[in-house]
Amino acid sequence: AVDLSVDESSLTGETTPCSKVTAPQPAATNGDLASRSNIAFMGTLVRCGKAKGIVIGTGENSEFGEVFKMMQAEEDGWQQGQRKVELLAVAAIPEGLPIVVTVTLALGVMRMVKKRAIVKKLPIVETLGCCNVICSDKTGTLTKNEMTVTHIFTSDGLRAEVTGVGYNPFGEVIVDGDVVHGFYNPSVSRIVEAGCVCNDAVIRNNTLMGKPTEGALIALAMKMGLDGLQQDYIRKAEYPFSSEQKWMAVKCVHRTQQDRPEICFMKGAYEQVIKYCTTYHSKGQTLALTQQQRDLYQQEKAQMGSAGLR
């Protein structure tokens, strides 16, 4: 496998792509689908990379087949409480008992709806009545598993808001109330250029082929009319992203100016990228990166993280 990343949200509900490797896994992890990093499952999507594999299960022997069998085996009709009631000697008319139970459960469903909880099957109400604690996890069921750039903070302190959602060019980049397009604002365009060139994703007909994070950066470039920058450069070397190093870098030369020095573009986790930075760009100048600037970037990064941004 080479930089293989698989979207398993259709199977596990987790929206973050899983990195796959060829290393054997301990037998103790076989019960957890998310920990099976050396197995790709039927019905999941390859986001990036390539690999060769051996088929070890098809049809009902696959994980989706197991899910289907569990759904088929689910009991329908009378729940456990109703079966217990059948054993009771009831003085009232027995024929009316199922109706009373059904109405009672339906009233429970209505009460849960008022508290913004949706119940698909009446028997679940009885089961919930026995629960003391409910632990839930975001599964992506109500989301589209898409990422969108919404905020930009430049090295010289400018803040930009980005409108529009999804992998399409519909949206604007706004700085101080003005719409930014092309290279009108160098501080913003340099960030977009790095995110676009140091990128392996492709968007065609509003459909992403690649990682969601990289797709969001390409969509940002499309909104500024800079998505063609990928074709302006020739890659001389590439350092692919990995979960260990948490950054990606490419070494390029401009296609029409190959006599100029090579340029390196890098993107990744803030903690990793900042280690390699010694200067920063500010209003057309390249200045030495001071500790004061590092503290400013760290503070901004923490504020964005607390707002749910990454």
Kindly name the residue from 3, 7, 32, 137 that is annotated as catalytic.
137
Residue 137 among the catalytic residues:
yes
Instruction: Please report the sign of the dihedral spanned by the C-alpha atoms of residue 84, residue 88, residue 90, residue 94.
Output: positive
Element (H, E) at 293: helix 291-306
Reduced to 3 states (helix: H, G, I; strand: E, B; else coil), residue 48 is strand
Q: What is the Cα–Cα distance from 249 to 224, expressed in whole angstroms?
A: 22
Length of the chain: 310
Sheet harboring 178-180: ordered strands across? 151-153, 159-162, 173-175, 178-180
- 267-299 in b/e form (b: 16+ CB < 10 A) is bbebeeeeeeeeebeeeeeeeeeeeebeeebee
Please compute, for residue 31, the number of CA atoms within 13 A of its CA located in the half-sphere on the CB side. Answer: 1
Three-state secondary-structure class, residue 137: coil
DSSP codes, 173-230: EEETTEEE-TTSSHHHHHHHHHHHHS---EEETTEEES-HHHHHHHHHHHHTT-TTHH
Separation CA 243–CA 37 (nearest Å): 13
Per-residue tokens: 250: 């490419």
Residues recognised as catalytic: 137
